Chain A
Amino acid sequence: MINNLYNVFFDATHNVFQLMLNISDISAQPEEEFKCDDEVDISVGIQGDLSGEVIYRFPVPTSLNIVNIMSGMQFDSVDAFVTSAVSEMANIISGNVLTALSDNDVKCDILPPVLCKLDDDKDYELKTSCCINTAIGEICLLIRLNRAS
């Protein structure tokens, strides 16, 4: 299971998009094709058998589409409401991942989502990206975890 984190995160994202947004048209995308300058980056910390963080990179258009669908209203710019809504979505996806891991005897907890800035200066034992293309835009998950010693 730990060696298959990519699929766990992909499946959790797929399920959440389907249940919350009625979007099932979702496919994997190579990381090099994910190009974004203006994005909302959310970090969800993980503790337990695995420790580190997952950074959810939501491009601004994707963020706005998510909130527009959920609310049935028109959001044209990122503000505290939009940031909070997509943070909760990252939290929900992470929670689903933890449930899947727990079913395979990998026990972890998550920390509350926080806005973050991208940096790549730390080394992690498990470091991978899960970039996803959906009908309402792309998202990319940076998975950075260490096994408990």
Chain B
Amino acid sequence: MLWKDQYELGVPLIDAQHKELFRRVEAFLQVLRSGVSWDDKALQLNDTLEFMKGYVVEHFRDEEEYQESIGYPGYEAHKQIHNNMVDYVLEVSKQYEESNKNEDLMQQFGGRLLAWLINHVAAEDQRIANYAREKGVSGNDK
């Protein structure tokens, strides 16, 4: 299981979204790495890509609103990291369509997404939780 309890921030809405994100990415990886033909995989992977484009944006927006609500000083830098990831997802999605569903492109995306997500939640997002605890505002959930 990709999700680990140590990733929890103590903010119920954000934690729930993170768990959903990890669940979806895990399902995506299982399809991506399964032994079925690429044509069969491609159909299922399309669904995940569409989900990522919508859900990731929604989650990032909610997380940024939370950061603003507690006055997180790293808000701008964190938002930039989110924007860069959204741009990457959109760009890969575009290239994937233009390449007529190139498998290597999607394998590259899977590898980067996996490492990015773990680092982002285990390191970058934990800084938000640490700040909230230090300032005594960790209970300020939406």
Interface size on A, residues (CB 8 A): 21
Q: Is the CB–CB distance between B33 and A81 below 8 Å?
A: yes
Q: Does B119 contact A (CB under 8 A)?
A: yes
**Interface bracket on B:** 20 to 34
Q: Specify the main secondary structure of chain A where it touches its partner.
A: helix
Contact A87 B29 (CB under 8 A): no
Minimum CB–CB distance from A113 to chain B (whole Å) comes to 10
Q: Which of A20, A73, A87 contacts B33 (CB 8 A)?
A: A73
A84 and B110 in contact, given A19-B123, A71-B29 (Cβ under 8 angstroms) = yes
Query: Of A20, A71, A84, which contacts B119 at CB under 8 A?
Result: A20
Which residue of B is nearest A74, CB measured?
B33
Task: Contacts A71-B2, A72-B1 given; indicate if A84 touches B33 (C-beta within 8 A).
Answer: no
Instruction: Report A23 CB to chain B, min CB distance, Å.
Output: 13
Is B32's beta carbon under 8 Å from chain A? yes
For the complex, give the distance between the alpha carbons of A72 and B29 in Å: 10
The answer to the question of B104 belonging to the interface, with a C-beta cut-off of 8 Å to chain A, is: yes
Instruction: Report Cα–Cα, A67/B29, bound state, in Å.
Output: 12
